[in-house]
Copies of this chain bind each other. A is one copy, B any other.
Amino acid sequence: MKKLINSPEGVVADALAGIAAAHPGLKIDYANRVIYRGDSPVAGKVGLISGGGSGHEPLHGGFVGLGMLDAACAGEVFTSPTPDQMLAATKAVDGGAGVLHIVKNYTGDVMNFEMAAELAAAETGVAVKSIVVNDDVAVQDSLYTAGRRGVGLTVLLEKIVGAAAEQGRDLDSVADLAAKVNSLGRSMGMALTSCIVPAAGKPTFDLPDDQMEIGIGIHGEPGRHRVPLAPAKEIAAQLVEPILGDLDFTGAPAIVMLNGMGGSPLIELYVMYGEVKAILDKAGVPVARTLVGNYITSLEMAGCSVTVLKADDELLGLWDAPVSTPALRWGV
């Protein structure tokens, strides 16, 4: 295992220290492993919290800041944070307007966020709503999930819902918007290689040199099928066609993310995006906004995922609104 770490057991704490050092505008609660925007809680604003296992950076800590999340809870690598972490974050970000939990659909995350919401209600009376993101069209259930997994759409949802909260919308409105975004986005991913969880010290799975895994999740959990390596154009088709088959994306402006899984160089992600865009053009899906890069990763896994969100003027306006986080920043 070749990694830039001090020890497998110290990775998450050391990364939090690095995030604190790099981004003095954020506040870190090391005991609870929560990253906060510096001015949290913001009075009168709905607080937005997400979190999950570490190893998907910049998700979620890299999306904390003005116009996006108020707090992100960091679990161990590929392990859900605890209800205690989520409860601490919920209390801390409440500015009097309630808190929305943004939860990727993985069994542990869902269970722990539910418990945190119950504890928050019982202990403090903070109003909490939740959105469970489930955009992955690859598999219906998986090793870690009942129903579809929550993957790349989480990034777009955090941006759009974050902008709405920043505008001062109330909790019901923000939660409704989150449900709307979730209903309109779809994702699909693939891997060329496995990743290595530091504590495990060896690849999560073996993938022969001439094969790739289509429909993989963000923890190296199995996907739809293993197929022979193929050119970028064919990979793009294998990712985009299931997405377009699941929802009619024609006739509305799309926000598209071509996401790297962590180990694929940007030159390859651009090659992939060119092929994805060509397919969308041919299918009559007008692309209005694009993100290409590593936004929700699986450690050093080589591969990529595609997310398409069927937007409208409201969603585009919220997308374009100012944001200032470590990983997404514009207008500020």
Contacts and interface: CB of A to CB of B under 8 A. Distances in A.
Interface of A: 2-7, 11-12, 14-23, 54-55, 57-58, 62, 77, 192-193, 195, 209, 212, 229, 231-233, 235, 258, 262-275, 277-278, 287, 290, 292, 294, 297, 299-300, 302-304, 324, 326, 329-332
A331 to B, nearest CB: 7
A77 B54 CA distance: 33
Contacts of A192: 2-4
B271 A14 contact: yes
A15 B263 contact: no
A139 to B, nearest CB: 22
Question: This chain: how many copies in the complex?
Answer: 2
**Residue of A20, A21, A278 with most chain B CB atoms under a 10 A cut-off:** A21
A14 B275 CA distance: 8
A195 B272 CA distance: 19
A102 to B, nearest CB: 20
Contacts of A232: 4-6, 14
Given A272-B18, A274-B17, A231 B7 contact: yes
A57 B265 CA distance: 8
6 contacts: A2-B192, A4-B192, A4-B303, A15-B270, A20-B274, A77-B267
Contacts of A277: 18, 21-22
A173 B266 CA distance: 34
Which of A22, A266, A300 has the most B CB atoms < 10 Å from its CB?
A266
A77 to B, nearest CB: 8
A302 B270 contact: no
A11 B263 contact: no
Contact of A329 (B265, B290, B330): B330
Contacts of A258: 22
A115 to B, nearest CB: 26
Given A4-B192, A263-B265, A302-B2, A57 B270 contact: yes
Given A4-B235, A17-B274, A21-B287, 15 more contacts: A4-B264, A4-B271, A4-B303, A15-B267, A15-B270, A15-B271, A18-B292, A22-B270, A22-B292, A62-B266, A77-B267, A263-B302, A265-B297, A329-B330, A330-B332
